[in-house]
Amino acid sequence: MEIKFSLNGNDVIVDVPPMKRLIDVLRDDFGLSGTKEGCGEGECGACSILLNGLPVTSCIMNAVHVIDKKVETVEYLAETELGKLLIDCFDEVNAVQCGFCFPGFVVAAYHYIKEKAEADEQEIKHALSGNICRCTGYVKVIDAVMLTCQRVKERGMR
Amino acid sequence: MKNIRRCDGVAKLNGSIKFLDDYKMEDMLYGYLYYAKFDHGKLKGIKYPSGYDLNEFTIVNAQDIPGKNEVPEPECDQPFMAESEVLHFGQIMLGVAHANKDKLKIFCEAIEVEYEELPAITDIDECLDDENNAFGKVLEIDHRRNIKIESHWIKTHHIYRTPHQEHVYMETQGMLAYFKPESRVMNVIGTLQCPFFVKEAVEAIMGDNISDAIVEASEGIGGGFGGKEDFPNVIAGITALLAYKSGKPVKTVLDRADDILITTKRHPSRIEIVSYTDPDSQKIKSLRIDLRLDAGAYQTLSPVVLSRSVLHASGGYSIEDSYIMGRLFRSNTPPNGAFRGFGAPQAIYAIEAHLDRVAAHLNIDPYRLRQNNVLQIGAELPSSQKIREDHLAACLEKVVEISDYQKKNEEFKLWNKTHTDKRGIGLSLGLHGGGYTGNGENMLDSEVRILITADADIAIYVANTDMGQGAYTTLAQMVSEAIDHPISKTKVINPNTGKTPNSGPTVASRTIYIVGNLLRKLALQIKADLQFSDLSAYVKANADDFPLEFRTRFLPDPDIYFDDDTYQGVGYKDFSWAACVVEIYFHADTYEVEIKKCWNVMDVGQTVNPSIAMGQAHGGIIQGLAFGLSEFFYKKGFGRKQGLTDYTMMTSSDMPEIEVEFLYKDSLLPKGLGELPMDFPAPALRNAFYHATGIFIDELPLTPERIFQAMKDRG
């Protein structure tokens, strides 16, 4: 089945079985390997992407779900002004450890800051609660998002 | 001692670093490990589904193994693949490969196994309560001193239990193997902690059919926590065999459900402690410990876990008369293996839970009891090892101070009198030995290599992988700081057994402590031998001499001796120390324990990169808290966990506040850090629950169901 959608700012068409998992479409058909499979059941958030601007887990979405919709992956978000700042802040506080879940955190944090940009610890914890990390205990992840919010404000990026 | 950024941070954040599943090769097949779905049985036959062209599939079983069907481990009793008998659920029977991942999966799901079912032990208590299940070597630490047990001494006798714990490294296990017929070299790339262990495993299974196995770590390794110490041997061996038989590259990546079901777990424990305490001096005078670990169906590396467990069983206390016996027990569950702490978290949990039992018996504060018994300089461990520093007492005092333990202890007692919900605060303390146990580091004989190029780049060759703990950054930092050369020109080369000397496995909190200190020593030696102040200028002036290579080996300390038979001597040259406080809020209506805050004060010696060290501490603490609060894998009546949906880990919204302080961080020696923070949160949590409710729960984790039962039992 021909699936037409917007991927990272470009209109694309891909011919895949309609029920092919979105994560597999992204990784296998488009070579976008920044989207990671951690659990395959929508629990861990490592495969998070933005679908029409909202974070979803691509391992429990199918190709048909994205027809005529807008998909943005970590590769694209990382190159935006906000994405670059976010990554720099995560890197500055050494929030990353194994890094497998972090593309997912970048997507979730990007969405939070885009929508909210308030350095509110409780809200950040809630916004990131769909992303599981086994290495960091989340402490530095939250620090990094707080720092990004602060810099967004300082730089008048909103 | 600087907070530099990780060398791999940005690549991990933007998704560009390659994890194992991101590797692809031309003509590559996908591999699958086909495993038993029953606990114990005699194999009668395997039936492949009809409607498939079997020639499309590469299938290997035990009969196809050209070398040995024996996974190299401290105890080589586990086969790569089952022969006539299956001893546990998840035991691998076949390796299967096909070019199409989906077709492979559907085919494997339809394979039928005929077998004759045999009786099986799958329940932890059933396994550990019956002494007939003991197997392997019994370990004894005998420090009995013929003291007279006075009649007024207080006897405290209890059994403490801990369950399986799953690592949940976020990247599941995976290996990619390809064979080069011209050189007969088997190449393996994997997500792993110990490249040389995997090399040995591939060579064992392939026998004379290959000339060499070259094992390389994937660029990114998505977490390990011990889980990628031993199981990679199994998956690499079978994947290599599939690559050999098919003549094509084969990549095997487990999906989460398979990974949880068939890979190793933390050993469940049953630890029975009897102690006698003098109520006048408040000193524990005598200690007897019967320590049992459920090894699973095979011993594999369990004897070494048991060894660390018995050597940590008396915790951070000085006790005159002690006797510790450790045994492995057999069950029909997958072999349990390495997991951050390696036997110590179970032992520390038991002794720390026991200490609060003793304090309650004596009707004194647990803090006071710990102060009276904590290891001081000159004290002796049961192994007769003498303690040379009093840092543990300092950790205890500091954690009590920063947590405001004493004030809260009194306040909560009052508060609890007038509230149905309860508040509590609990303590724990102890030690963790750095590096391999006993003579282990001498036997590993680790070697490191530094290469300085004609462009004055420093390349560091070690076999230790960065599974997230920051090893590539901190090791480079140690060399860069010792040589006084920019970190941007100092790099750890991706471990590859064809290029890197064997600096040993990435385990036992030994990477900075053993390998890093070796590298630092070598770097200082290079600087002293070449007599430069600026390496770049020196290389420029002596360009013809470069590249230059330097190597050094681990030098055993002649004063360190450990007797592997009597378990007397120096078990660990250097201990790291920690004391921990946990504060909880108990919701009486839901039986739920809410962790408010965890304080952990540690001495890990020098913190090479304080920010990375802090990250390690945070991660260990959350794993430790969840070990106490929610994580278990299999239990009768509960069944077996299937994935991340029912295996309950903490998310960011479950996280309590965490406060970590490193003492003695300016000392010259960096000691073990990776495992220490794992050991103490669980017992402190359990002790806080007693403080809150007056109920001792001796078995982890403190789930609402278990608490409900304990309260019902008490009436």
- Residue ranges and CATH numbers for the domains of chain A are 2-73 (3.10.20.30), 78-154 (1.10.150.120)
Q: In this complex, is the C-beta atom of A39 within 8 Å of any C-beta atom belonging to chain B?
A: yes
Region class of B308: left (phi > 0), else alpha (psi between -120 and 50), else beta: alpha
Distance CA A70, CA B638 (A): 42
Nearest to A138 among B3, B644, B652 (CB): B652
User: Could you tell me if A33 lies within 8 Å of chain B, comparing CB atoms?
Assistant: yes
Chain B from 253 to 272: CB within 8 A of any A CB: 255-257
Which CATH number applies to B18-119+168-262? Answer: 3.30.365.10
Q: Which residues of B touch A132 (CB under 8 A)?
A: 168, 170, 644, 649, 651
Decide if B644 and A38 are in contact by the 8 Å CB cutoff: yes
Segments of chain B assigned to CATH 3.30.365.10: 18-119+168-262, 269-437+567-714, 446-553
A68 vs chain B: nearest CA distance in angstroms?
25
CB-CB: which of B609, B618, B644 is closest to A44?
B644
Position B637 scores a pLDDT of 63
Q: Given this model, what pLDDT does residue B277 score?
A: 98
pLDDT (0 to 100) of residue B639:
66
Buried-state track B560-599, b at ≥16 Cβ within 10 A, e below 16: bebeeeebbebbbbbbbbbbbbbbbbbeeeebebebeebb
Contacts of B618 in chain A (CB under 8 A): 136-140
Restricting to B residues 502-561, those with a Cβ less than 8 Å away from any Cβ of A are none
Write a three-state SS string for B605-661: ECCCCHHHHHHHHHHHHHHHHHHHHCCCCEECCCEECCCCCCCCCCCHHHCCEEEEE
Q: Using an 8 Å CB-CB cutoff, list chain A residues near B611.
A: 93-94
Provide the token pair at B84.
């006539």
CB within 8 Å: B658 and A139: yes
Please give the pLDDT value at position B648: 87
What's B446-553's CATH class? Answer: alpha beta
> A94–B615: do the CB atoms touch at under 8 Å?
yes
Q: B222 and A91 in contact by Cβ < 8 A?
A: no
ipTM above 0.85, yes or no: yes
Q: Are A99 and B643 in contact (CB < 8 Å)?
A: no
Distance from CA of B4 to the nearest CA of A (A): 8
Q: For residue range A55-104, list pLDDT tens digits in order.
A: 999 999 999 999 999 999 999 999 999 999 999 999 999 999 999 999 99
B13 to A96: CB separation less than 8 angstroms, yes or no: yes
The whole-angstrom separation of Cα B98 and Cα B86 is 25
CATH architecture of B269-437+567-714: 2-Layer Sandwich (3.30)
Asked if B13 lies within 8 A of A93 by C-beta distance, the reply is no
Does B495 contact chain A (CB < 8 Å)?
A: no
Q: Which of B11, B615, B654 sits opposite A97 (nearest CB)?
A: B615
**Contact flag B658-A44 (C-beta cutoff 8 Å):** no
Q: Report the pLDDT value the prediction gives residue B337, as an integer from 0 to 100.
A: 98
- Report helix, strand and coil shares of chain B as percent, to nearest 5: 35, 25, 40
- How far lies B598's CA from each of A151, B197, B580, B656, in Å? 29, 36, 7, 7
Question: Which pLDDT belongs to residue B64?
Answer: 98
B302-311 vs B344-362: helix crossing angle, rounded to 10 = 30
Tell me whether residues A138 and B609 touch, CB distance under 8 A.
Answer: no
Residue of chain A whose alpha carbon sits nearest to that of B651: A129
Tokens of B233: 């041997």
How many pairs of residues across A and B have Cβ atoms under 8 Å apart?
180
> What SS3 state is found at B276?
strand
Intervals of chain B under pLDDT 70: 636-639
SS3 label, residue B352: helix
The tokens of A45 are what?
């958030």
Q: Does B14 touch chain A (CB under 8 A)?
A: yes
Q: Give the gap in angstroms from C-alpha A123 to the nearest C-alpha of chain B.
A: 9
Q: Which two tokens stand for residue B37?
A: 């779905």
Which tokens sit at A25?
């479409």
